[in-house]
Chain A
Amino acid sequence: MTMRAFLWVAVALTVGSAVAAQDVSLTEGQADISIMLNGQQIVISRSQDTDAMLTGEFAKTSRPCPSFCIQPIIPVAGVTPAGELEVIEFLQKNMAHNTGLLIDARLPDWFNKGAIPGAVNVPFATLNAENPYQADILRALGATPTDDGFDFSNALTLMIYGNGPWDAQGTCAVQALIAAVTRQR
C-alpha cells in the first residue's frame, strides 16, 4: 500500500468559479485546475485578493503542547509527504479514476469547518482497532480481512491530511492504518 501524508500548509485552497483575468495562478502557466470527481466538477484556484489574510481557527498558530505538538512530516517510514501540487496531482490521477482516496483524518467538527475539495472525512479515531466498526471502514477502503489482520494489496491509494504541523490527527490515522496492515505479519 502506498500512503502519503499531507500536512496542510497554511495557504488555503479555495473552490470557486475561475475568474477571467487571473492575477494569482496556481503555478506559472496554470491558473486553476478543474477535476471531475464522481460526476461533480471541482475547480481549484487561489484567492484573487492579494490582500487576503487567514482569519479564525486557521489563523491561530500557537496552541499548547502537549496536545498540539509538532509532528514529523513522515509519520511512519515509507510514507511519502505531499504539498499542494502533489495533492492536486493525486486528485487528478487517483481520485478522478477511482484508484485513490484523499482522506481528511480530522474529527467531523473540523471537517465541517472546511476541507480540501473532494476529501472524504475519515476521523483518525474510526481507524483504530478500538472502534468496533473499524473493519467496515477498512473494507470500504478496499482492504480484505485476513485471519489476523487486513490485506491492503488491492486497497485504494490513500492520501491523508490533518490540521497542520501542530496536529497529530493525520499522524494517528497513518499509524492506525499501518497497525491494521502489520497485524497480519
Chain B
Amino acid sequence: MIRSVVALFIFAVVLCGYIVLHPSDNGRPMPAIGNDATVTRAQTDIALALVTATAMLTNAAVIQAPQRNTTPGINVPVDNSTMNATTTNVLAGLGLNVEQNPNAIKDDPMLRMTTGVLSGIGAITGNTVTTASQNPTATSTLEILVVQALKQGQNDAYIDTLVNEAATAGTITVPQILVTSDGRVDTHVLLASIITQATIAAGGTAPTVPDRPDGVEVRIVQRATETQQYRFYTVRSNDSLGAIAINFYGEVGKYQLIFAANRSTLSSPNNIRVGQRLTIPDA
C-alpha cells in the first residue's frame, strides 16, 4: 500500500516536473514565436486558474497551432494604448485587481453608456461585443474581446483567430507593439503579458530574463578607451516588437529601449519588417 502511494507520488512529481520544465526545451523563453500550442495552452490555464480560481481546465486536448496567415500588407488598425494598460484592463475585466491603471477613470458615464450601446448592438447583430456591459473596466473592444474569450475558457488558438479576424475586419485596434512583421496581431505576447501580471499579482515572481535569446548576433567593438558590446537581432516572420522585447528583456514594456535605439530605421513600433536588423541596447 505504502509502496504504491509512494510510486504514485513520484509519478506525479515527475509529471509536474515535465510540465513545468517542458517550455524551456526549445530554448525559447516565450511561446510567442514558437508554434508549440501545448505550451501556450498550459500557460493560459495558469492564468485562468489564478484569475478566476475556478476549474476552467475543461479543454485538456492538445490544441493545433493557429494557421498563420502570412499574407503581408494587411493593415492592422493600431492605437496608442500601452500593453500595460491593455493587460491591466483585461485582468480587471476578469475580476482581478492589479495595480490601478491611472488612465482608467472609475466612474465614466460615457464609458458606461458606450459599453451598454455596444452590448445592445451586439445582441441584435450577433457580433462579439455582446458582453461589453459585463466588463465595465475593459475600455477597448480588444480588451472586451479577450476578456470574453478568457471567461469562456477559450484556448490560445481561438483567441488568436478571433483577434486577428476582428483586426482584419477593422473592428478593433491594438497596441502598436503587437503588430508582427507579417501584419498580424501577436496574441501570444498579449496573453503572456496577462499571465505575467497575474502571476506577479498573485505573489509569484516575474519570469527571468533569458541568458541568450534566439537569433541574436553579438559584436564587440574595441575602441582605444573602451570595449563596447552591441547586440543585433534580425526580424523573422511573425515577430512583433513586443515579442522581441520579451525575448531580450523579459518584459514587454522595455520595447521602448529597442524602438528608441532604432528610430532611424523604424518609423513606428508596428512597422517592423522581416529581415530588418535591430540594434538591441543593454537594459
Cα distance, A118 to B122, chains bound together (Å): 13
Is A133 part of the contact surface with B, judged by Cβ < 8 Å? yes
Residue in chain B with minimal CB distance to A141: B121
Is B141 part of the contact surface with A, judged by Cβ < 8 Å? yes
- Smallest Cβ distance from A15 to chain B, in angstroms? 16
Interface size classification for chain B:
20 to 34
* Chain A residues within an 8 Å CB radius of B170: 139, 144-145
Is A61 part of the contact surface with B, judged by Cβ < 8 Å? no
Q: Determine whether the beta carbon of B114 is less than 8 Å from that of A133.
A: yes
* Chain B residues within an 8 Å CB radius of A123: 113, 117
Is A121 part of the contact surface with B, judged by Cβ < 8 Å? yes
Q: For chain B, what secondary structure do more than half of its interface residues adopt (helix, strand, loop), or is it mixed?
A: helix
Cα distance, A144 to B172, chains bound together (Å): 11
Residues 34-91 of B contacting A (Cβ, < 8 Å): 77
Partner of A132, one of B110, B117, B118: B110
Is B140 part of the contact surface with A, judged by Cβ < 8 Å? yes
Q: Determine whether the beta carbon of A136 is less than 8 Å from that of B141.
A: yes
- Smallest Cβ distance from A122 to chain B, in angstroms? 5
- Would A140 and B110 be within 8 Å (CB), given that A38-B124, A121-B116 are in contact? no
Cα distance, A98 to B126, chains bound together (Å): 9
Q: Determine whether the beta carbon of A126 is less than 8 Å from that of B121.
A: no
Extra contacts, 9 of them, besides A98-B126, A120-B120, A120-B121 (Cβ < 8 A), are A38-B123, A120-B117, A121-B120, A122-B121, A123-B113, A136-B140, A137-B121, A140-B122, A156-B125
List B residues at the A interface (Cβ < 8 Å): 77, 110-111, 113-114, 116-118, 120-127, 129, 139-141, 170-171
